[in-house]
Structure 1
């Protein structure tokens, strides 16, 4: 199959979150299977050009119809770690992608509406006719809308769209001006409740809703999160639309790249190990303590790696630090705050705990240190309020670091409680799960993990090995996506 991914990110050249990892990881998996894959991206001024090989001009004067006129674009082409990428650069006073940032501008809805239009225009003008166009998140929600309403009538009637939602929280809310700009025009038509009208605001259009309504298949990034999106407030107002489109909606768990996250080959850790020689993991624990000036004592290390924000259960992260220390264990945190108030709070905690040799808080993000923490810690806490998929718990399992997670989203699909999971036999359980958002629920799970580490080291080791046996690579998601592509291609 010939597959084109249209997205606002692709790691490592453009990465603000998990979306970039998924676009790259899935594209690589599809390529390994023999499918032709190309990726279309905005050409941001602040992207990592050092990760692009052979960047050259592929199309010089792409005239993109826009707001009653046209904007001329150039399209560059290059290889990002083996993946063929096209970068669209508009030449206009709007400076859509020369902002020094990927997101966060007041006109983001127009920036990405233009990108979606330009991507389709590029496919149309270059006579590229992929079997599948795979779009991601609200930024490309208008692609299937414009494909069906405009480009279908100009020789692109055979293209099929898979639309993946990574985060329901950001949906792309806009006014009628986006219809004029993109050439969709008919206001009354698109403000119909079963098309683009936002369910929470009758005067607004919703890009993500458009993507759901017009694409041939819609998925989010874990089976349980798909259920949550339909039946709880995690869908952020899109429950009605997902109910109407339930025949083409599902959940596919993300994968992780075992070329990057693998203690057998990881270049960032001093000692390589696997489930067959787990003793080497203890040497990484010693190296982590030396790096962070922690006490060399017979205690477990619990870690947190990720963003410090409400989604990640920041109040529980804070509580976990002090509860862990009171339970005679060590705590390591590596996290960057998305809000100034949270950053100030954790910076204060860092100062307060600075002299505690059983604790280290690293505010910010450091890729090299993240690898060493995964390899050196005994347990990883993931107390998210909501989690579409979650990668840290899957990475933790690969590194023999037992996850302690809240039972939401993809965490439910990947971590199975050692003591209470009724759907897995004891030999297939791999961590600890709690469900409520109160301190006591999390404390109970932490207690069970620490008690096992101290009182039954052989049983703890067994749990570690059971977790390391799980395969959360892109192999299984790759099978599922190819199955979906085949299904919608023959509809």
Structure 2
């Protein structure tokens, strides 16, 4: 795996957000790959709870300044970057004042999901791809963690299907047991259809609850990692039905099992 390129895209990463299963796993898997000679980049949202001064985030002017169209609205894309201390790993932050400035992550003080989480997910997916295009950095593997990042496989397979930079990229999604109650904005499917994505790829999004969003990510991924000890049977059954390569849950083991899995994915046509 030395000199291969892996793009890690996660809704949460330590040390920038509190330690959760997703935040810890995304960091540790990337750290292990990096320490084994893999070229890595990590992308996450720049939530307003992240202390920019403490973590030494700074805006990258040459990457910022683009507008992304979300449901017929121009939304400015701001890119910030930081390095994880001691690891020499670069983390890129997708930012926009409208979507990410608030001092919360997914829910308000009453634990209600933000009404615009659907648009935040679309913005994050597009922001990652457009930034990687500007970097001209073609990843061998794109590894996705967390439901806010889970529209990325769909957008890569459909919206960016003709983008040569990702022609050889394999998409891996880690499936976790860390979902949310209720549903995202029911307009999500219409906002995605605005980008002229194939309707037959969107059936799961007509009811945008956690299960359906992850099922859509599974269908549009090349391989699946089980990131939690217990996984919903709907997910495991879909992985089998779709005949996806899969890696079983590894409690705290981010070494050879992940690297071997990456090698297997890259070698598969």
Q: Which of the five TM-score ranges fits, normalised by the shorter chain? A: 0.7 to 0.9
| CA distance, structure 2, for counterparts of residue 240 and residue 488 of structure 1 | 20
Change (3 A) 1:251 1:50: farther
Please say if residues 62 and 75 of structure 1, whose CA atoms lie closer than 8 Å, have aligned partners that are also in contact. no
Match in the other structure for 2:106: 103
For structure 2, list consecutive stretches of 5 or more residues without a partner in the other structure.
108-113
Please say if residues 3 and 130 of structure 1, whose CA atoms lie closer than 8 Å, have aligned partners that are also in contact. yes
| CA distance, structure 1, for counterparts of residue 246 and residue 182 of structure 2 | 20
Higher helix share: 1
Equivalent position SS for 1:87: strand
Match in the other structure for 1:24: 27
Please say if residues 173 and 218 of structure 2, whose CA atoms lie closer than 8 Å, have aligned partners that are also in contact. yes
- Does residue 200 of structure 2 align to residue 189 of structure 1? yes
Match in the other structure for 1:409: none
Match in the other structure for 1:113: 122
| CA distance, structure 2, for counterparts of residue 7 and residue 73 of structure 1 | 18
Match in the other structure for 2:148: 139
Per the TM alignment, residue 161 of structure 1 is displaced from its structure 2 partner at its CA by 0.9
| CA distance, structure 2, for counterparts of residue 131 and residue 212 of structure 1 | 18
Please say if residues 179 and 186 of structure 1, whose CA atoms lie closer than 8 Å, have aligned partners that are also in contact. no
> What TM-score does the superposition give when structure 1 sets the normalisation length?
0.47
| CA distance, structure 2, for counterparts of residue 172 and residue 249 of structure 1 | 28
Change (3 A) 1:23 1:247: closer
- Does residue 75 of structure 2 align to residue 71 of structure 1? yes
- Does residue 254 of structure 2 align to residue 250 of structure 1? no
Equivalent position SS for 2:255: helix
> What TM-score does the superposition give when structure 2 sets the normalisation length?
0.82
Equivalent position SS for 1:65: strand
For structure 1, list consecutive stretches of 5 or more residues without a partner in the other structure.
256-473
C-alpha deviations, 1:14-47, integer Å up to 9, x for none? 2252211111111111111111111111111211
Larger radius of gyration: 1
Per the TM alignment, residue 191 of structure 1 is displaced from its structure 2 partner at its CA by 4.1
Calculate the aligned-residue CA RMSD, in Å: 2.5
Equivalent position SS for 1:215: coil
Match in the other structure for 1:258: none
Which aligned segments of 4 or more residues in structure 1 are displaced greater than 6 angstroms? none
Per the TM alignment, residue 171 of structure 1 is displaced from its structure 2 partner at its CA by 8.7
| CA distance, structure 1, for counterparts of residue 262 and residue 181 of structure 2 | 24
